[in-house]
Chain A
Amino acid sequence: MSPDPIAQPDISPAPVSWLNRLSIVWVVPILALIVSLGVAWKTFHDRGVPIRITFSDAAGLVPGQSVLKYRQVVVGKVEKVGFTEDLRATLVTVRVDKDMAPHIDSEAQFWVARPQIGFNGISGLDTVLSGVFIEGLWDKAFSGPPPAVFTGLETPPLAETPGSGSWVTLTAPDGGSLIEGAPVLYRGIKVGQLRNLRVNESGDGVTINAFIEAPYDKRLTSSTLFWNTSGFSVSLGASGVKLNVRSLSSLIQGGVEFNTLVSGGKPLGPDPSFRIFADEATARDSIFADTADVRVALSIRLDGAVRGLKLGDPVNLRGVKVGEITNIGIATAPTDQGGATVFQRIDFDVTPARMGLPRNADAAAVLALLSEEVDQKNLRARVASTGLLGGSLVVELIGVEDAAPAQIDMGAKPNPVLPTVAPDISDFSASAEGVMSRISALPIEEVMESTISLLDTTTALIGQDETQQVPGAVLALIDEARGVVGSPDLQAAPGALRKVLDETGRFMADLSEAGTVDSITGAMTTASEAAQAVTDSVAGVPKLVETLNEIGETAKTLPLQEVTQNAADLTASLNKLASSTDMEALPKSLTESLDALTVMLTDLEQGGATENLNETLGSARKAADAVAEASTQLPALTDKLDRVIRNIDAVLASYGERSAFNTETVATLRQLRKTAASFDGLIRMLQRNPQSLILGR
């Protein structure tokens, strides 16, 4: 038997609870979960209330970045920028902070704050740095549940808080130079702005909303006047020229000024409306018209056509304005003959208070006064001109001494008609006439004629052949002079030449003076004889040639020293000649001679000296024949000359380069060149500027 096995204790591990088997680490994720859920819930809870706003455009709004501000404090954030269903505007979803959301009610206003640069300054500069944001405006008072979609304003509202100013409606015949945002001035200080300029419903004027800031809006009463201060005004009056510029700002964008000129206005009603007058003067003039004073309507009838009267033109009683024209029209009235006559009817209102009557005087009192005046003092109505140039017209009620008796037509319709006299608008016409007559009296025609004739004379003078030929003659003269200078005849003494020319000139002048063809004929005969003599002498040419031959022979034997000396002398003389004053005087003599020649030739032509000339020419031809005859012997002469020249050449060649002769020659040549250059310069100058000869440079 086996011993009992040792009783094995029934050991089983103590039951470990499920909780004990759980790791402590599980606390961590549980905590994390709790915290995360808490944060998520808080985020969800605090995320604000979405509101939706439409804007025409959402320029610069960035979802998640752009904010909504209330009095410059961020109270929300743009969540989404989209479009309305019809794509006509942008729809911006903004999440407003939870604590601010309840205050956004139906009267909340939203607009996009952007930098604005206008004539009034710069605003919203902060948006340049921070980006565009939406600005909202609301108050604590609950005015109604917020709409599903707010409509954003295009421009910031003016009245930020109630009680910061008043809105008034202004009307004007046209917008003038007013623009959106133009200032409203009170005694020259900007106290408001113009907004929402628009043409009114009927299309016959414009309506403008104006915001007047507090406390200046207290100045508004029912008798307040608004007038346009746009641009500048220039008025020409007895006090001179007046330039009126209200402010630079209003010069550019226009402006409206208001003032309450008369007391006693009533407080403004709920929707006050005012008229904008064209200018301050008009506004002031309108005071009486706009007051509640009694106004009496009267008329006058004008037979003659008077042009220039306008509605609103003044009616003056002895120079003081008592009323203004209200209507200008055409009317007919029965004449005594039974027909009808057409006339101009001017209606006007007068204010009794202005005529010295009590403020509440009625029409009867006015008419009584006027009737008395008409009866007693010949008061008549007439149209008269006023102003510096009589440009504007007024209706004057004035005592006319020699007026025909008349009475006020009390029964006329629609208004009593005052008697009239002829218009007093002739003053201007008369003075204008005087001016015109004086102007017409001016000897304009004579002056014109004189001027024309003077011009004609000048033209004729310039057009004359003589005048036009002056430069040509001068040029020809200079050419001649050059020819003279270049001719070997200059070797002859210019003095003598001048003398001869002088004499010739004188002779020619005498000839022309005498004007006797006979003497010319005689002279021609003499010339003919002379030519005959030449012919005769030519016969002796062979002999001459022989003589020349001899000269050549002689020249050969001439002592070189002497020749040199002569040559040197010659060049010196040439030098002297070139620089002599006689040379300078030469052209003058030439001119004279030429003139004389011209005259002579003219005379000759006139005198029919052709026959003599023919004779002379015949003699000349004879002489020429003789010359031709003689020329047959010329070859021999040429040979001789050639030999002479060769000799001279040899002589000249024997001179050294630096001999006195050479030097002299060179100097002479230089002088000549210089002279030629001077002439050249003179000619060039004349060619360039021919007038200089006439005008003296």
Chain B
Amino acid sequence: MESNRHPTLTARAAGLIGCRACGRVSPGDTSVCPRCGGALEPDRNLSLQRVWAWMAAGIICYIPANLYPMLRTSTVATGTAENTIMGGVVELVHAHEWAVAGIVFAASVLVPIAKFIAIAALAISLRGRATMSSHRRHKLLEIMDFIGRWSMVDVFVVAILSSLVQLGYVVNIHPGPAAALFALSVAFTMLAAQSFDPRLIWEKDQGYPA
């Protein structure tokens, strides 16, 4: 393994504990960072628990977010129409708006599901044999963290549409229950990604129990 060829001295190996917020290294038994007052967690297991918990909440919210309508459009001509996320994508495809359909599909379906899979894969990899190198897994975590917020595109679209398109009797757009659920789901997944302590990846390589 790459890291084995270039062994590095980690804080843990030196009996110290690093603060994730400000980066200060304190003695191993310190529970509160003397500089920033952040909690120092010697128990990495708790961190992993939080990842799983947030992710579970995210998935629980994500399922109804896809079943309930995202947008409620009421027009004079067609009456009230409700669109779920996938329904909207299908309609966009039927309207030959391939680009928009692709963006919505990527932001609302591909990215969240990919995030769930990636976080789960990372968490599981801490227990068993990892197929990817630590470095790569770290990169994956960073990408996930970065990309996560873009899933909010859908929520923004709904928010903007429903605040702009209020033309009284002619056309009205209201956010459906799925909008809130989807926003929650994205938030929970982001929290899950945040909770994932990247140090776990490295520590496993060095033989510390997860």
Which residues from chain A sit less than 8 Å from chain B, CB to CB? 21-23, 25-26, 28-29, 31-33, 36, 39-40, 64-65, 67, 129-131
Contact = CB atoms under 8 A, between A and B. Distances in A.
A33 B58 CA distance: 10
B50 A36 contact: no
Contacts of A65: 78-81
Given A23-B50, A25-B53, A25-B54, A32 B79 contact: no
A26 B78 contact: no
9 contacts: A22-B49, A23-B46, A26-B56, A28-B188, A36-B60, A36-B63, A65-B79, A130-B79, A131-B77
Contacts of A31: 57
Q: Chain B: interface secondary structure?
A: helix
A129 B76 CA distance: 6
A31 B54 CA distance: 11
Given A21-B43, A40-B64, A32 B80 contact: no
Interface residues of B, number: 24
A26 B49 contact: yes
Nearest to A133: B79
A28 B54 contact: yes
B118 to A, nearest CB: 18
Interface string B75-103: 01111111000000000000000000000
Interface of B: 43, 45-46, 49-50, 53-54, 56-57, 60-61, 63-64, 76-82, 177, 184, 188, 195
Contacts of B64: 36, 39-40
Contacts of A32: 56-57, 60-61, 184, 188
Contacts of B177: 39
A28 B57 contact: yes
A130 B45 CA distance: 59
A114 B209 CA distance: 73
B53 A28 contact: yes
A21 B57 contact: no
A131 to B, nearest CB: 6
Most buried by A among B49, B60, B195: B60
Contacts of B195: 25
A25 B81 CA distance: 37
Contact of B56 (A29, A39, A130): A29
Question: Which one of B57, B80, B177 has the highest number of Cβ atoms from chain A below 10 Å of its Cβ?
Answer: B57
A131 B60 contact: no
Contacts of A130: 79
A21 B43 CA distance: 9
B53 to A, nearest CB: 4
B54 A21 contact: no
B50 A25 contact: yes
Nearest to B185: A32
A28 B189 CA distance: 12
A129 B77 contact: yes
A31 B188 CA distance: 13
B71 to A, nearest CB: 14
Nearest to B56: A29
Which of B64, B188, B195 gathers the greatest number of chain A CB atoms within 10 Å?
B64
A22 B45 CA distance: 9
Contacts of A22: 49
A31 B50 CA distance: 15
A515 to B, nearest CB: 111
Contacts of B53: 23, 25-26, 28-29
Contacts of B63: 36
Interface centre among A21, A25, A26, A40 (most CB of B within 10 A): A25
B151 to A, nearest CB: 17
The 6 closest A-B pairs by CB, nearest first: A29-B56, A29-B57, A25-B53, A23-B49, A32-B60, A28-B57
